[in-house]
Amino acid sequence: MPLLEVENLRVAFHTRNGIVRAVNDVSFSLEKGGTLGVVGESGSGKSVTGYAMMGLIPQPPGRIEGGRAIFGGVDLLHASKAELNAIRGRKIAMIFQDPMTSLNPFMRVGDQIMEPLRIHGKITSDAARKKALDALAEVGVQDPSARLLAYPHELSGGMRQRVMIAMALITNPALLIADEPTTALDVTVQAQVLELIRKMQQNHGTAVIFITHDLGVVSGFCDQVQVMYAGRIVESASVSDIFERPLHPYNRALQKSIPAFQPKGRDLYTIPGAPPDLSRPIAGCSFAPRCEFATDACRKGDLTLTEVAPAHGTSCRRVQRGEITLD
Amino acid sequence: MTVDSTLPAPAIVEVEPGHSLWQDAWARLRKNRLAVASGVLLLVMACACLIGPIFSQDYAEQNLSTYATPPSAEHWLGTDTAGRDLLSRILIGGRVSFSVGLCATAVALLIGVTYGTIAGFYGGRVDMVMMRIVDIIYAFPFTIFVILLMSLFGRNFLLLFAAIGAVEWLTMARIVRGQVLTLRRMEFIEAAIATGVPRRRIILRHLIPNVLGPIIVYTTLTIPAIMLLEAFLSFLGLGVPPPMASWGVLIDDGRKVMEEFWWLITFPGLALSLTLFALNFLGDGLRDALDPKASKD
C-alpha cells in the first residue's frame, strides 16, 4: 500500500472573475521513502496540489471540488481539523519557498524548531532543546546553541532554509512536501540545500514531494516526475524516462528551453504563447494553442493520462495514438 | 575557543530557559533611558493622584477669603476662583483623567484587538459582516450617542468609560484587522498551520506578537485622545459633575480666566502635557523594545 495515494483531486477558486479550476483530476501515488518531483510553470497547479494535501487551501475562495488523498488510512482532503492537526507537522511536514518569510520574526529560532515537538506529544523542555540542537547540527548550522537564541532576521537565507528543514524533520515525518524550497536562494546555496534534503531523506527514510519549476533540480533529485500544465498532469514517468523519452510535447518543449541543453550562441528556445486562463473552460488539450503538433482534433473532447509505455503516462492523444513521436 | 571537558554538555547549559518575548522586551526597555524616565514619571504621577488627595487639602471646600491666590507656601499651586486649593484639585482630577484614560483604553484594546484579530484571521464573509458593523457604528454621531446615554441613565462614571470605550475600539479593530489580514497570508502562518499548530496558539503566539507594534503605538495615541475626549465631554457638561474635577475640567476653567490668573491654566495644562509626553515616549520605547529587529545597536 502506497504511503500517499491521491485520486482525482480537483481544486477550484471561486473568484470575482469566475471559477478558476486550478487543479483538475490529478492522481498520483507515492511509495514510502520515494521522491516525486512535480514540475510545472507558475499557475500550473503544482503548489495548489501540495497545499491541498496540507489543508492550506484558503476556503473560501478555494474549494476542494472532489477527489481523495489517502495517507495512513485518513483522507487528508476531508479530515477534520483535529485529525489534520495530528498529522500535520508530525507525519507530514512542509517547507516553503521563501525562507525570509516562513519563520516568525518575533519568535526565537529555538522556540520555532521546538514548536512541532511541543504540540505533538509531551516532551520536557530539556529533551526538546536537546533534540533541537541535534537537528540544527544535523542540517549543518554552525554553533547551534547560539543559533537557538537567535531571531530569524539574524540568519542568512540559506541558514533560515536549513532551520526550516530542521524544523520540518524534527518529528521524523513520513512525508515531506517541499514547495520550491530552493527557488529563493543563491545558486550555490541551492545546491547545498538540495544536498541537505537528499541527505536528510536518506538518513530518515522520508518520502519527498518536490514541487519546482526547475527541471534541472528534478533531474538530480527525484525518482518519479510528473509534469503539470494548466492544472493537469500531462506526463508522468520515472526521471530517466522524462528526460530521455519525453512523451508529451509540453515536456519536450520545456526541456528544449533549458539553457544548459542548448548550443552556445543560438537564441534560447521559448514556447510561444502564454498559459491559458483557467477561469475559462478549456475544450480538449490545454496545451494545444501553443503546441507545434496540435490539430483541430486536439481542441475537442476529454483527456486522460494513459500509460503508453510501462509506468510512463501521457495525456497527449496524438502520442497515445502513435501519430507523432517525440525525440 | 576552548572547551572544558569537565562540563557535561555545555551547549545545553548555555541556553537560558524561559527567555520569552516579554523578558527580552523588558531587558531592552530598561536600556532606553527616556522610556524608563517616562515610566517612572507616570508611576509617580499615578501614585500622587492615588494617595495625594488623602493628605492634601479639601478639593471641594469653597472659601472666598482665598479667592484666586497665586502660588504660595500654603497653597503650593495657588487657589482657583472658588478659593479651592489647586494642587488638591489637580490630584483628584488626575484620578478621573487617569482612570478614564486607562480604563477606556483597556476596554478599547480588549474589544478592538479581539474583534480585529477574529475578522482578519477568518476573513471572507465573517470579516465582511464584522467590518460593516464597525462602519455602521463609526457613522453614528458620537456626541449624540453620549448625550443619549447620559440623559437616559444619568451622569454616571462607569457609563462614561463605556461610552468612550464603545467608540475608541473601532479604530483599533480596523488597524488590527488590516495587520492581521496581511500577516495571515505570510508563509510563517501557513508554516504554523502546516505544522499542526492549533488556531488558538497561532493567534496568540504567531499573530498577536507581530501586531503588537502598531497596537502599542495606537494605544499611546488613544490614551491622550481619551483624556481630551473626557475634557470635551466635561466641557459640554456631560463629564464628571462638580465639585469633582478632571484635568479637562480644570484646563477649561483655567482657560476662562487665564488672562488674570495664569496658574489656573498653567499647572493643570502642565500635568496633562507631561503625562501625554511621558505616555508617548514610553509607547515609543515599548514598540522598539518589542521588535527583535531593533535590538542590535
- Reported ipTM: the value is 0.80
- Whole-number Cα distances in Å, A66 to A8, A10, A12, A24: 7, 5, 10, 9
Instruction: Name the strand (E) or helix (H) holding A139.
Output: none
Tell me the C-alpha distance between A130 and A124, whole Å: 10
Tell me the C-alpha distance between A137 and A143, whole Å: 8
* Least confident span in A127-141, A183-197, B30-44: A183-197
Tell me the C-alpha distance between B209 and B192, whole Å: 14
Using CA of residue A33, residue A35, residue A36, residue A38, what is the dihedral sign? positive
Query: Amino acid identity of A17?
Result: N
Q: What is the arithmetic mean of pLDDT over A65-91?
A: 86
Q: Which residues in chain B have their CB less than 8 angstroms from residue A104's CB?
A: 188, 192, 205-206, 209-210
- Which pLDDT belongs to residue B11? 36
Tell me the C-alpha distance between B132 and B151, whole Å: 28
Long-range contacts at B134-142 (CB < 8 A, ≥ 24 apart): B134/B170, B134/B173, B134/B174, B137/B166, B137/B167, B137/B170, B138/B170, B142/B167
Q: Do residue A120 and residue B196 have CB atoms under 8 angstroms apart?
A: yes
Question: Is the Cβ of A167 closer than 8 Å to some Cβ of chain B?
Answer: yes
B190-228 exposure pattern, b = at least 16 Cβ within 10 A, e = fewer: bbbbbbbbeeeebbebbbbbbbbbebbbbbbbbbbbbbb
- Whole-number Cα distances in Å, B194 to A11, A116, A134, B167: 18, 10, 22, 38
- Which pLDDT belongs to residue B31? 84
Q: What is the arithmetic mean of pLDDT over B193-198?
A: 86
Query: Amino acid identity of A60?
Result: P
- Which pLDDT belongs to residue B173? 92
Q: Do residue A102 and residue B14 have CB atoms under 8 angstroms apart?
A: no
Q: What is the arithmetic mean of pLDDT over A16-29?
A: 86
Q: Do residue B21 and residue A106 have CB atoms under 8 angstroms apart?
A: yes
User: What confidence category does residue B133 fall into, taking pLDDT thresholds of 50, 70 and 90?
Assistant: very high
Residue given cell 526538546 in the structure block: A128
User: What confidence category does residue B198 fall into, taking pLDDT thresholds of 50, 70 and 90?
Assistant: confident
Strands across the sheet with A4-15, in order? A18-30, A4-15, A62-71, A74-75
User: What confidence category does residue B131 fall into, taking pLDDT thresholds of 50, 70 and 90?
Assistant: very high
Q: Do residue A54 and residue B193 have CB atoms under 8 angstroms apart?
A: yes
Our CA-based measurement puts residue B101 at a distance from the nearest CA of chain A, in whole angstroms, of 29
Is this model's pTM higher than 0.80 or not?
Answer: no
Q: Considering CB atoms only, which of B14, B191, B296 is closest to A102?
A: B191
The number of beta carbons lying within 10 Å of the beta carbon of residue A15 is 12
- Which pLDDT belongs to residue B115? 92
Chain B residue whose CA is closest to A129: B12
Interface test with B, best of A16, A106, A111 (most B CBs within 10 A): A106
Using CA of residue A231, residue A232, residue A237, residue A242, what is the dihedral sign? negative
- Which pLDDT belongs to residue B8? 39
Peptide bond into A116 cis (omega under 30): no
DSSP label of B205: I
Interface test with A, best of B126, B179, B188 (most A CBs within 10 A): B188
Tell me the C-alpha distance between B95 and B246, whole Å: 8
Tell me the C-alpha distance between B275 and B46, whole Å: 10
Chain A residue whose CA is closest to B290: A106
pLDDT greater than 50 at residue A81 = yes
Quick check: A160 and A152 in contact, CB under 8 A?
Answer: yes
β-strands A4-15, A175-179: how paired? unpaired
Chain B residue whose CA is closest to A145: B11
Closest CA to B289 of B183, B176, B209, B177: B209
Question: Is the Cβ of A129 closer than 8 Å to some Cβ of chain B?
Answer: yes
Q: Which grid coordinates are listed for B291?
A: 521588535
Length of chain A: 327
Q: Do residue A151 and residue B188 have CB atoms under 8 angstroms apart?
A: no
Strands in chain B per DSSP E: none
pLDDT greater than 50 at residue A304 = yes
Chain A residue whose CA is closest to B211: A106
Q: Which residues in chain A have their CB less than 8 angstroms from residue B123's CB?
A: 58
Question: Is the Cβ of A146 closer than 8 Å to some Cβ of chain B?
Answer: yes
Q: Do residue A89 and residue B197 have CB atoms under 8 angstroms apart?
A: yes
Q: Considering CB atoms only, which of A85, A108, A151 is closest to B196?
A: A85
- Which pLDDT belongs to residue B177? 93
Window 15-44 of B: residues touching A by CB (8 A cutoff) are: 15-17, 19, 21
Q: Do residue B196 and residue A96 have CB atoms under 8 angstroms apart?
A: no
Chain A residue whose CA is closest to B1: A143
Q: Which residues in chain B have their CB less than 8 angstroms from residue A81's CB?
A: 199
Tell me the C-alpha distance between A159 and B278, whole Å: 41
- Whole-number Cα distances in Å, B233 to B144, B172, B247: 11, 21, 12
Instruction: Name the strand (E) or helix (H) holding A282.
Output: none
Length of chain B: 297
pLDDT greater than 80 at residue B14 = no
Q: What is the arithmetic mean of pLDDT over A120-134?
A: 84
Q: Which grid coordinates are listed for A93?
A: 511536514
User: In chain A, pLDDT over 70 holds for what percent of residues?
Assistant: 99
DSSP label of A269: P
- Whole-number Cα distances in Å, B156 to A320, B147, B159: 83, 12, 5
User: What confidence category does residue B3 fall into, taking pLDDT thresholds of 50, 70 and 90?
Assistant: very low
B150-159, B202-211, B287-296: range with highest mean pLDDT: B202-211
Query: Amino acid identity of B90?
Result: I
pLDDT greater than 60 at residue B15 = no
The three state secondary structure string of A174-213 is: CEEEEECCCCCCCHHHHHHHHHHHHHHHHHHCCEEEEEEC
pLDDT greater than 70 at residue B297 = no
Q: Which grid coordinates are listed for B3?
A: 572547551
Question: Is the Cβ of B195 closer than 8 Å to some Cβ of chain A?
Answer: yes
Q: What is the arithmetic mean of pLDDT over B159-172?
A: 81
A153-188 exposure pattern, b = at least 16 Cβ within 10 A, e = fewer: ebbeebbbbbbbbbbbbbbebbbbbbbbbbebbeee
The number of beta carbons lying within 10 Å of the beta carbon of residue A3 is 19
Closest CA to B230 of B216, B219, B244: B244
Question: Is the Cβ of B179 closer than 8 Å to some Cβ of chain A?
Answer: no
Question: Is the Cβ of B12 closer than 8 Å to some Cβ of chain A?
Answer: yes
A125-138 helix and A157-169 helix, angle to the nearest 10 degrees? 130
